[in-house]
Structure 1
Amino acid sequence: MKKIGVLSGGGDSPAINAAIRAVVRKSLALGYEVWGIKDGWRGLLEGNLEKLTLDSVSGIIFQGGTILGTSRTNPFKREDGPQKIEENVKRFQLDAIIAMGGDDTLGVAHKLNKMGIPAVGVPQTIDNDLCGTDYAIGFDSALSIVTDAIDKLHTTACSHHRVMVVEIMGRDAGWLALLSGLAGGADVILIPEVKFNYDDICRRIEERRQRGKQFSIIAVAEGAAPEEISTQVTQKATVDAFGHVRLGGISSVIAEEIEKRTGYETRATILGHLQRGGTPTAYDRIMATRLGVKAVELVHNGQFDMMACVKGNQIDSVPLEEAVAKVKPVDMELFETAKLFY
């Protein structure tokens, strides 16, 4: 009997549980055992696994987060990491690993394949920035959350005649800021792919004031930066296990600059981890289910070092190497479309 290990790594998002449920149900239907690896790659390093059954995944499709836990663990940063992984794969007699996450988590899966440990990936990131797939688990739910937040900010901004700067997740790609800004009717959208100009922002605010609009909403991705500086705004100089600094605070920088230049009362709102939480949308649950099933099919067919992906309305697969090679930038045609509305 084949044994499949499944894990979720990196930042969490709604609908991971829907994908885990799909992996378990499809695997059991094929006669495989499924072992849940706790807390991402850390669980495989420490041998922290548990057998998953139908009861394990009953009633979890609507639950946010991940029943397996997660962490930003990079086993290749530990001298004995690869060895520990190999030992525990043999100890639990795993025939394959299904990893759910973004480029960091799936990058580890790709390296394990090179070591001879079969693994496949499932795209899971609210940033929606993985190459080779049109969609990643968690994005639609996060998009709904952020759009709702922008809707709420509109009412208070209008009441107080303020400029509101809302900071949205997106380190290197502005998919979430762009689409939530478009859906929420933001007056300015700032993304990492395009350096912004303070004069342009203030001009837009002034134009709205002249038309009787005494408030403005600015949607900004956390990784956006002005033309005047070459680096992103960070919270800490320290980096995580994958070499990423913690971004945060660009909204406060922008708010302060706008107020200084225009004299208009300006407030910053950082949505932070609210974007990762809560109940997944129906669409997210469906896509997570389809991607989870596809991942098991890849294992069943011996198609390792691949990632389940979405291409149009179809579920397909791409090499993990392609998926993690670079960040998927926003569609600039879509960005130009959004600019028509501000």
Structure 2
Amino acid sequence: MADGGRGIRRIAINTGGGDAPGLNGVIRAATLAALNEGWEVLGIRRGYMGVLEPEVDGEAGVFPLNAHAVRGIAHLGGTILGTTTRGNPFGLEVRQPDGTWGKVDRSDEIIEAFQRLEIDALIAIGGDGSLNIAHALHRKGLPVIGVPKTIDNDLRATDVTFGFQTAVEVATDAIGRLHSTAEAHQRVMVVQVMGRHTGWIAVESGIAGGADVILIPEIPYHLDRIAEKVRERDQHGRRFSIVVAAEGASPAGGQPSYVDASGRYGGIADRLAEEIEILTGKETRPLVLGHIQRGGSPIAYDRNLAMRFGAAAVRCIKEGSLGTMVALQGAHVRAVPLAEAISEIKRVPLDDDMVVSARQLGISFGD
């Protein structure tokens, strides 16, 4: 928008990919900020499905967002717009006439629908997958502002993403609660946390929760090193151990654990528990935290960050800074090009202060 946002009448907001605590905070802030500019705001249900289908789950696919619609939602988990991990318009799954499933590109329909609805800009809230879709649509002519959302905290362009700290709090609380039961039964407990490609949740919750072993995708682990740590604790009278494993962690020279042939990560807790018990002879139990890390009310930090991101997205539209993503860099929220934002995953550096500090505390990374 070369006119610096003048002429904006109507914007839309959608949420895509996995949910995260704080999504409703972004929706609320963006809606109120846009309304204060005199713009209309539309909500799109379940990613882009709302503009492709007149009804989604029995409700209008696209509907007005006003002050009443976003009242009292910032503390709520989930998203009032709904979301999906299977809503890529460049490859939507559809049932073919012969009954098999195939994929079809409906991205042109998205562009046409936005033009028909006279939407001047879209605020797309999502993680790396959703932002890749938003970037591709922007290249086809859709005016887009991205808002980073991933509890994995794996987008390099932003120092932190909303939802991450809430997920760390949930995982830390669970790990802390396991100490008493692990000690009572002299067991090894293996806690699986989210983190397909990065170990940010595992590192931060593992240290805060007092884990003895932390396994992350960035550091391939050796089973004998894990067993060595467990035996070492036994020799010092600490006859229980807590192992925290990111779902995407893998053994040296091996592959991560997958739930099924679809490539979904999962199963590392069960796999490790069995292997550790065989090696050490100690009773070992797995615990998968799963989607509980995504649920519930966001902590204050994530609420505030989410609302800052939502307000910043509206500023970007007003200033004509389209094809960008809002990002926290230092103390400020800035706009960065979407292409740059999605270009690289933010992994845990091996010399990161958290990793170095953990090693000084005697925590093993299985290497």
**What residue is the counterpart of 1:323 in the other structure?**
341
Superposition map of 1:124-143 within 5 A: 124-143=149-168
Partner of 1:150: 175
Contact residue 131 and residue 328 of structure 1 kept, 8 A = yes
> Structure 1: any 5+ residue segments left out of the alignment?
239-244
Equivalent residue letter for 1:63: L
Given the alignment of the two structures, is residue 264 of structure 1 paired with residue 278 of structure 2, yes or no? no
Indicate whether 1:90 and 2:115 are aligned: yes
Secondary structure (helix, strand or coil) at the match of 2:264 reads: strand
The answer on whether the counterparts of 2:321 and 2:335 sit within 8 Å (CA) in structure 1 is no
Which residue of 196, 202, 213 corresponds with 2:238?
213
Aligned residue for 1:288? 306
Q: How far apart are residue 158 of structure 1 and its match?
A: 1.0
CA contact (8 A) 1:41 1:71 kept: no
Q: CA deviation at 1:306?
A: 0.5
Q: Following the alignment from structure 1 to structure 2, what is the Cα–Cα distance between the partners of residues 288 and 104?
A: 19
TM-score, normalisation: structure 1: 0.96
Does residue 186 of structure 1 match 2:211?
yes
Aligned equivalent of 1:75? 89
Match of 1:61 among 48, 51, 74: 74
Whole-angstrom CA distance in 2 between matches of 1:301 and 1:273: 37
Identity over aligned pairs, percent: 46
Code of the aligned partner of 2:289:
L
In structure 1, distance between residues paired with 2:357 and 2:48? 40
> Deviation string for 1:35-74 (max 9, x for gaps)?
0010112223325111100000001011000000000111
Hey, what does 1:336 align to over in structure 2?
356
Please state if 1:232 is matched with 2:245: no
Consecutive unaligned residues of structure 2, counting only runs of 5 or more, are 1-7, 55-60, 93-103
More helix by share: 1
TM-superposition CA deviations, 1:218-256 (whole Å, max 9, x none): 000000000141x21111112xxxxxx211101111111
- Cα distance in 2 for partners of 1:205, 1:124 equals 36
Tell me what 1:241 maps to: none
- The equivalent residue for 2:324 is 306
Whole-angstrom distance in 2 between the partners of 1:261 and 1:289 = 49
The AA in structure 1 aligned to 2:42 is: W
Aligned-partner residue type, residue 75 of structure 1? P
**2:341 partner letter:** A
What residue in structure 1 maps to residue 37 of structure 2?
A: 30
Letter aligned with residue 61 of structure 1: A
CA distance in 2, matches of 1:313, 1:105: 25
2:14 to 7, 22, 43: 7
Cα deviations by residue, 1:257-298 (Å, 9 ceiling, x for unpaired): 110001001000000110100011001000001011111111
> Taking structure 1 as reference, are residues 80 and 192 closer, same or farther at Cα in structure 2, changes over 3 Å only?
closer
- What is the distance in 2 between the residues matched to 1:210 and 1:232? 31
In the alignment, residue 41 of structure 1 is paired with which amino acid? Y
Q: Does 1:17 align with 2:17?
A: no
Would the aligned equivalents of 2:111 and 2:141 in 1 still touch at CA under 8 Å? no
Answer with 1 or 2: which has the greater Rg.
Answer: 2
Counterpart of 1:27 in 2: which secondary structure?
A: helix
Residues of 2 paired with 1:266 and 1:58: CA distance? 47
* Letter of the 1:301 counterpart: E
- What is the aligned partner in structure 1 of residue 293 from structure 2? 275
Tell me if structure 2 keeps the 8 A contact 1:45–1:75: no
Runs of 4 or more off by more than 3 Å in structure 1?
none
Q: How many residue pairs were aligned?
A: 335
Q: CA deviation at 1:319?
A: 1.1
Q: Distance in 2 between matches of 1:186 and 1:45?
A: 47
Secondary structure in 1 matching 2:69: helix
Report the TM-score when normalising by structure 2.
0.89
Could you report, residue by residue, the CA deviation over 1:2-22 in whole angstroms, capped at 9, with x for unpaired residues? 211101100001111011000
Listed one character per residue, the Cα deviations across residues 148-205 of structure 1 (whole Å, up to 9, x for unaligned) are 0001111111111100000000000111111110111110100001100111111111
Is the Cα contact below 8 Å between 1:166 and 1:270 reproduced in 2?
Answer: yes
Q: Distance in 2 between matches of 1:123 and 1:246?
A: 22
